[in-house]
Structure 1
Amino acid sequence: MTEYLIHSKRCFIDNQFIEATLHIKNGKIFKIFSGSYHDNNMPFQDYGNLIVMPGIIDAHVHINEPGREDWEGFDTATKAAAVGGVTTLIEMPLNASPVTTNSKAFKLKQEASKDKLHVNCGFYGGTIPSNSNDIEDLIQDGVFGIKGFLTHSGIDEFPNVSKEDLEAIAPILKKHNIPLLLHCELSDDKVPEVINPKNYQEYLNSRPQHWETNAIDLALDIQKRFDIKVHIVHLSASEGIERIKKRKQETNKLTVETCAHYLYFNAESILDESTIYKCAPPIREKENNNKLWNFLLEDGFNFLASDHSPAPPERKQLESGDFFKAWGGISGLQFTLPILFTEGKKRGLSTEKLIVLLTKRPAEFLGIEHKKGNLIAGFDADITVWDDTETYKISKDSIQHKHKATPYLNKMVFGKVIHTFVNGVQVVENSKLKSLQQGQLLLKSR
């Protein structure tokens, strides 16, 4: 079907739900009709009271291909994305091997994604101490931003950068108006000695809030002195909120995200040896996470993401239960919408606000708001259709990720993705994959 009509009593248009009919033609939203509109020459999809909204844009995903396809890969990750209503994702420069820190590695990654993209996919480049001369090439090649770590990344081939490294590349980022994305943890030796590595509280204590706030202070200093775009990924420390708020009042070049797992889980409910919950920065206490929710409800976060960072069960140390040896990453690309919708219902988060945080806002951050993130005539027909009344249990057989191990397994959630359209093609029908390889490679236009 290259031309057809989609109708719902609840299309999300201009930040509100209205009855409308979308005329889809050649991969784009050709026209939008108010109310119900029929044309005998075109198929008419009537979705009744289901929510029809722009496809979700996940701007923080680790796919790990090439080199670590046994962790995840483009095929499985983008299938999971499609089933979860994610129509566009941006992939991080690690944990592929080689890491995406120069043009050659970036071309290898694009090649690796060939014939495996079931949703649209763009990429970030990486900054490490030795590649300041490669940053401009990566930008020219079309990355959407440059990502760096201020503490050990977990893999040796992607070492953390120093303040001096960031000062060296800041003028290049300024010249091209490209964001610097920072993993904000700055490690020091002010942490207690580990007595029981299987104890979650000990793992939590090993990555204290001040690691995050010290790193945020460094990030804000770089942002201010060089007047560049800086994006703080996966904020987990509520002690960072006030300094972020203050700087945001002074500039529109500072952005911040958090992730579903920091909003859904709490340290108090994580049992010892439950390494499936390990991530960095860690899932913190209930009181901390309530403050993240308050910040979200006050429009503090620019957007929300999954930080999907999967690994094989043995890398997660699921048998040993050792938090200090386990890979730190949550597998959750497929479940961002139902997890946030379920918890948001309890917190007073409106569905309208949630949709904007998953669609329009990440599109703006990535500079693709002229073609994605909204249901507007002329935009790409990336569309997610979901039932906000359906309750279901996340089951192993529904998981499209390469590995089924996820802390969301067996959770009862609200909100089921029913249909997904990517570039005008229906890729998911009745929550099942229908048409593959419809995603496009996205490069940031220079």
Structure 2
Amino acid sequence: MELGSTVSAVKSTRVFLGNQQVGPAVILIRDGKIHQVLSSGEVTEGVLDAGDSVVMPGIVDCHVHVNEPGRTSWEGFWTATRAAAAGGITTIVDMPLNSIPPTTTLANLQAKLRETSGKCFVDTAFWGGVIPGNQLELQPMIQAGVAGFKCFLIQSGVDEFPHVSHGDLLAALEQLRGTGTVLLFHAEKEVQLTNESNDPQQYDTFLQSRPDIMEVEAIRSVIQLCIEYQVRCHVVHLSSSQALPVIQEAKKGGASLTVETTHHYLSLSAENVPAGATQFKCCPPIRSAHNQDQLWAALKAGHIDMVVSDHSPCTADLKKLDSGDFTQAWGGISSLQFGLPLFWSLASQKGFQFGDAVRLLCQNTARLCGLGQQKGSLAPGYDADLVIWDPEREFEVCIKSIHHKNKITPYLGMSLRGVVRSTIVRGHLVYRDGSFSAEPLGKTVLIPSRTTPHDDA
């Protein structure tokens, strides 16, 4: 079957059938949708025979920084979505920064949409941003189809996306109340630190500058606003396990709160970051191995709802690889392509099953951004977005196999378990064994408004 062709059926001895069930099945596809899932049957035309590879819903990565327009030297839609396809991701949701302009007005969203034309190998949706003074842009962006909004409670790292004050948040929440949308928080707050002169090449110097209390206090504030305004709230890239008790208490109390963590917090630990290895820098920081164990336990218990990449690339000079200065390097980790094997390499050792991977990487991420009835599940009526992969096979991460633009990543040389064989987007075969369709076949995805916004006239 040629790349780019339309697939009418996919069969395998290991198809994800729901809950924790995996077994022989044939998936019938019509008009880009899953038509039927049969436990057996003969299909001869347009069938892709996956043998005993696992077939499950395509991954929905709802935290990706594409950076186009404006910082396309960092990343762009062509390279980001190819990397996504190679990783079994069929939908990404683009963050409102670090592009120039950021997605903080309706006009800027429209500029972003124009940039995607003819460049996306997988489907792409968009977050809007909340910054000081843009509250009257929020409802127009909801109507135009953003998945929700993101804000920072601390400096974002780029001047054109300033963090919000308490007053800015109240103005935004007044506009978002009753709309059914979701507000995402980079949940760190500035705290008073003792200024010690430590070696900037030592990772511990950077780690001490972003202590757990910054996340804990920020998340307390998020929870208060979530309860007061009855707006869905979401904590992005949770790194600190110390925040888990307040998160659990809020959820038990009925707060409309969800939480994500990332592949790097689950795969990397502070004890193993070499001196000067600034490719490991991200914000919040990678913490201790004990902290990592607590995050895995929270995933298993359902206290953390999903796992995402937070793919945040930059050019080599911004990573300060020559000086190894953690205090000056850009904070962001590139991992978009390797999310599934990063997750599975450890999850499979900790008793997680395929159903857990689907829940954490596909279903819950799709629900967060308003795509829960369209993507993330292998069921009739859903988009025919599929990943075909070999969970037992291992591979080594090497530069020549990386498809995102800048090849800087802390995972170079790492051996991972789980090889993506093929990726299907709405019935189109877009990736197979290292090769891509000649033309990008992804689409932009605009989210239907959940409710009619209230009238603030």
TM-score, scaled relative to structure 2: 0.95
One-letter code of the match for 1:12? F
One-letter code of the match for 1:27? G
Which residue is equivalent to 1:280? 283
Q: Distance in 2 between matches of 1:44 and 1:179?
A: 39
Give the alignment partner of residue 434 of structure 2, picking from 431, 434, 440: 431
After superposition, residues 21-420 of structure 1 pair within 5 angstroms as 21-35=26-40, 37-40=41-44, 42-251=45-254, 253-420=256-423
Q: Distance in 1 between matches of 2:247 and 2:138?
A: 26
One-letter code of the match for 2:8? Y
In the TM superposition, residue 368 of structure 1 has moved relative to its aligned partner by 1.3
Q: Check if 1:12 corresponds to 2:16.
A: yes
Alignment root-mean-square deviation, CA: 1.2
8 Å CA contact retained: 2:234, 2:259: yes
Is there any run of 5+ residues in structure 1 with no aligned partner, and where? none
8 Å CA contact retained: 2:136, 2:175: no
User: What secondary structure is seen at the aligned counterpart in 1 of 2:125?
Assistant: strand
User: What secondary structure is seen at the aligned counterpart in 1 of 2:8?
Assistant: strand
Which stretches of structure 1, 4 residues or more, deviate above 4 A after TM superposition? Answer: none
Question: Alpha-carbon deviations, 1:139-190, whole Å to 9, x = none?
Answer: 1211111100000000111111112111111122122111110000001222
Q: Distance in 2 between matches of 1:2 and 1:439?
A: 13
Which residue is equivalent to 2:455? none
8 Å CA contact retained: 1:203, 1:324: yes
User: What secondary structure is seen at the aligned counterpart in 2 of 1:75?
Assistant: helix
Question: Alpha-carbon deviations, 1:287-308, whole Å to 9, x = none?
Answer: 1111111101111111110000
Larger CA deviation: 361-370 vs 267-276: 361-370
Q: Distance in 2 between matches of 1:256 and 1:39?
A: 42
User: What secondary structure is seen at the aligned counterpart in 1 of 2:348?
Assistant: helix
Q: Distance in 2 between matches of 1:199 and 1:251?
A: 42
Give the total of aligned pairs.
444
8 Å CA contact retained: 1:428, 1:435: no
8 Å CA contact retained: 1:13, 1:374: no
One-letter code of the match for 1:14? G
Larger CA deviation: 256-265 vs 134-143: 134-143
8 Å CA contact retained: 1:426, 1:435: no
Q: Distance in 2 between matches of 1:223 and 1:327?
A: 31
In the TM superposition, residue 324 of structure 1 has moved relative to its aligned partner by 1.1
Distance 1:251 1:44, change over 3 A: same
Q: Distance in 1 between matches of 2:234 and 2:59?
A: 19
Larger CA deviation: 71-80 vs 153-162: 153-162
User: What secondary structure is seen at the aligned counterpart in 1 of 2:159?
Assistant: coil
Q: Check if 1:442 corresponds to 2:420.
A: no
TM-score, scaled relative to structure 1: 0.97
8 Å CA contact retained: 1:150, 1:162: yes
Larger CA deviation: 4-13 vs 185-194: 185-194
